[in-house]
Amino acid sequence: MATGVTSAVGRLRRARFTSRMGIDVGALVVLCTGVVVLASSQRILDWVHEEFVVDLLTLVAAGVGAATAILALIGSRVLGEARLAWLAAALVLYCVVVLPWTALGTAESTAARVSRMLAYATALVLLVFALRAPRRMGAWGGWLIMLVGGGASLLALFVVPDLGPFTEVLTGPVYTTVLVIGWAAAAVLGVVDAARRQSGPRLRAGLGLVVLAGAQLYRTANGARVPATDLVFPALRLVGLVVVLVGLLQIVGRGVRRLQEENFVQQEELAVAALHMERAAAHTAERNHELRNGLAGLAGITHLLSAEVDGPDQERLRGAVLAELGRLHTILESTTDPERLAALAGATDAEDYLVEPMLAGLVELQRAQGRDVRLEVPDGLHARGDSAVVAQIVTNLLTNCERHAAGTPVLVRAFSEQDTVVIEVRDHGPGLPPGREGIVLVRGVHDPRAGGSGLGLHISRELAEGQGGSLSLRTVEDPRGCAARLSIPAVDAERPAADAIAP
């Protein structure tokens, strides 16, 4: 099925290209016919100064050819196509060396004719290689050949009287005919190659070379019957070079657009990669922040657990430490498992749990580090979600109290409010500056004097929202301090809460 569709698409493309090729060829034939008719019209010849017009058309053709050569060289460098560089070298030799000599009136001298034929031959070699550039010589090989051939052409201007019989051969009709036929064959092969590639711009460039070769054939076929003031040859030559210029403009234009599209795609890919890297860096920073908080708490009570006397306090500390180790283990696993991270933040496996045991373990860890933390929570208060996530949020809030209100008492209390459970962490510090209540929850915002990375509150807010709750901070008075209010979903009142295991 797929093969049949591909074949049908290929046939449709070939049909469209054939139609466009027919239109291009027909339009060019009509244009060249009109140019020949106008250039041969006696009224036109009577109205203009023929020698001046011939020289003008020759110089204009040289300028157009030079522009075409520059465009081909630019296209070769931009598109990385060596064949355009060889075509540029051929056009430079033909339009910059040969045509100005003709316009200066030196083309009829023996030396100039020999020099021109050598330049034609070198340009033909370059034009043939433009169809398939030699890999070993690369894009600059054509310019080396052009320099050698051009140097030989210039040298012929001075040594041609000493060439003897070779002068007649180089200026004879046989040599000239072979060169012109070779030009025509190379131009036709360029059209065939463009048709095989189904490239409209290359087809137009090839048709322009065909017109240029046709102008040379016209002059060679008529020989001595064509006067020096004949307008047909220079007019057709100019038309051919203009068509080549148009084709190269389209080739370079399409190539530049393709490069722009590729660059746009690469920029998009780089932007996506940068976004992934930014997310990975943010996740790493958040993980490190949580690990530092947890490890700091564990390090502070290690010496208490090493005591030989066991008791209720030691048992509660062991349970709190085990719960904290479990939470840190979950954070480490989320580093390499995005699904576990999503579950941690979004509470995909929500369950009912008792609030008091979870908060009691966290408060016990704080007290073990010598901090004055009190807990007020009614028995039997249940919440729904992931207790590990809530423990992580409360740990961040307690760490924030220690950083901004070190040594002051901290009150952790929980209560039920409509369909939510509210956990409030309040210190007796300086509070928040006016208008900063919402800004402090933004990633990276922190007080440089107190230290920190500006991640704790931001992470806590995202985790709270992932649990279906919210987090807010405000300044309170009597006594002054900062109160963090964490709201999380409560257990539905219509159904009994499941017994939860404290973390």
pLDDT tens string 217-273: 887 777 655 566 678 888 998 999 999 999 999 988 888 888 888 888 888 888 887
pLDDT in the model for residue 342: 47
Residue 481 lies in a domain: yes
* Amino acid 57: pLDDT: 87
138 and 65 within one domain: yes
Residues 43 and 120 in one domain: yes
Residue with tokens 């001075």: 158
d(CA 432, CA 97): 82
Task: State the CATH number of the domain containing residue 206.
Answer: 1.20.1070
In sequence order, the β-bridge partners of residue 489 are 420
Residues 91 and 174 in one domain: yes
Q: What's the distance, Cα to Cα, between the start and end of the chain in Å?
A: 60
| Overall number of domains in the chain | 2
- What pLDDT does residue 485 have? 93
Whether residue 278 is contained in a domain is answered as no
Residue 10 placed within a domain: no
Judgement on whether residues 335 and 459 belong to the same structural domain of the protein = yes
Domain end (from 245, 269, 293): 269
User: What single letter denotes the amino acid at residue 403?
Assistant: R
Can you say whether the dihedral through the CA atoms of 176, 182, 186, 192 is positive or negative? positive
Tokens for 121, please give them: 């031959």
User: Which stretches of the chain score pLDDT less than 70?
Assistant: 1-6, 9-10, 46, 100-112, 157-173, 223-229, 279-350, 444-455, 492-503
Distance CA 303, CA 43 (A): 115
Last residue of a domain, one of 269, 291, 325: 269
User: By residue range, what is the domain housing residue 202?
Assistant: 24-269
Same domain, 366 and 436: yes
Pair 264, 311 in one domain: no
User: Looking at the structure, do residues 344 and 456 belong to the same domain, yes or no?
Assistant: yes
Q: Give yes or no: residues 72 and 193 share one domain.
A: yes
Parallel, antiparallel, or unpaired for β 410-417 and 373-376?
A: parallel
Q: Do 391 and 246 share a structural domain?
A: no
Domain boundary among 217, 241, 269: 269
240 and 110 part of one domain? yes
d(C-alpha 416, C-alpha 473), whole Å: 19
User: Are 314 and 262 in a shared domain?
Assistant: no
Residue 15 lies inside a defined structural domain of this protein = no
Amino acid at 21: M
Parallel, antiparallel or unpaired: strands 382-385 and 470-476: unpaired
Q: Are strands 481-489 and 420-427 parallel, antiparallel or unpaired?
A: antiparallel
423 touches 355 (CB < 8 A): yes
d(CA 129, CA 141): 10
Q: In this structure, are residues 198 and 14 in contact, taking their beta carbons and an 8 Å threshold?
A: yes
Q: What is the CATH number of the domain that holds 311?
A: 3.30.565.10
Q: How would you class 422 by CB atoms within 10 Å of its CB: exposed for 0-12, middle for 13-18, buried for 19 or more?
A: middle
In a shared domain, residues 361 and 214? no
